[in-house]
Structure 1
Amino acid sequence: MRAAFTASAVVSALALTACAPTGTTASGPATADGGDPPRARQCFSVSQVNNYTRGRPDQVFLRVGRDAVYELNAVGGCPDLDFAQQVALIPDGGMAGSRLCTDDWARVVVPGSTSPSTVCRVRISRQLTEAEVAALQPRQRP
């Protein structure tokens, strides 16, 4: 019984640290090569996603909560997304539960036109700034 508790405590600790910041914020020191400091990872819960749109064939934008917009990049594109009434977003790895952070991988499941569903593998690239959201074409704004 104690071994099970210890294993679950380790799994819980790993899940909690999965979305922890990975470096300093923009106000922190520069990297050794003189570049910008690493960005803190931005996270959201899958249940907070309330809209999506397609950008380029390999790009998906998610509206998370009221104001946040995240960019996802699909490996090889995401067919049938333009006409889908709904999609499912499933985090890879299983340990993180329903929480996704920038640089995480997930799958977008789209009801298919020629098959029951299409699965697209995506990477959570970044959270857009307010200015970047405003600069999106209206049809790309989730």
Structure 2
Amino acid sequence: MRTAYLTLAAAAAFAVASCAPMYGPGSDPGMSSSAPRQCFFVNQVAGFSSTDDRNVYLRVGVNDIYHVQIIGHCPDIDWSSRIGIQPRGGGSSVCTGFDADLIVPRLGGGVDRCLIRSVRKLSDAEAAALRNRP
């Protein structure tokens, strides 16, 4: 009887372990574990622009720009004049993909919630190039 319980416990532990991600908390798949987290606070977002329905650039503070990619597509993001950002889990910062949703007003009324897939702070050179594009 005891062997059956041990076998059941071992099987349950294996099942839970096989569902766990292969990367540590707060890191994105494909990023090295030595890469520093590049977080921003939602209340510091001062503006945004979008090149299409999957890529959004957030101006944070005075000089920082973050590139945010959306899972799937986010209708009307490239036409919207305003967005909201709602962190998941009750915090007020966004550090990695899956930390927040973009809240985008629909042209006909209502809103779309678009899950953020990835977040990356642009380098100074990338930010300057984005600011200087026509």
Q: TM-score, normalised on structure 2?
A: 0.68
Aligned length: 105
Query: Quick one: which amino acid aligns to residue 75 of structure 1?
Result: I
Q: Check conservation: 1:49, 1:62, Cα contact below 8 A.
A: yes
Name the SS for the 2:108 alignment partner: coil
C-alpha distance 124-37 of structure 1, shift in aligned 2 (>3 A): closer
The alignment status of 1:102 with 2:76, answered yes or no, reads: no
For the structure 1 residues 119 and 104, does the alpha-carbon distance in structure 2 shift closer, same or farther, using more than 3 Å as the test?
closer
Equivalent of residue 124 in structure 2, options 123, 130, 133: 130
> What code does the residue aligned with 1:138 have?
R
- Equivalent positions of 1:1-142 (< 5 A) are 38-94=34-90, 97-136=91-130, 138=133
Aligned-pair Cα RMSD in Å = 2.2
Contact 1:70–1:124 (CA under 8 A) maintained in structure 2: no
Output the amino acid matched with 1:66: V
Alignment-mate amino acid for residue 132 of structure 1: E
The superposition leaves residues 74-102 of structure 1 with CA deviations (integer Å, 9 ceiling, x where unpaired) of: 011111112222111001122xx211113
Runs of 4+ that moved beyond 6 A: none
| Ranges in structure 1 where 5+ consecutive residues have no aligned partner | 1-17, 23-35
Range with bigger deviation, 78-87 or 41-50: 78-87
TM-score, length-normalised on structure 1?
A: 0.64
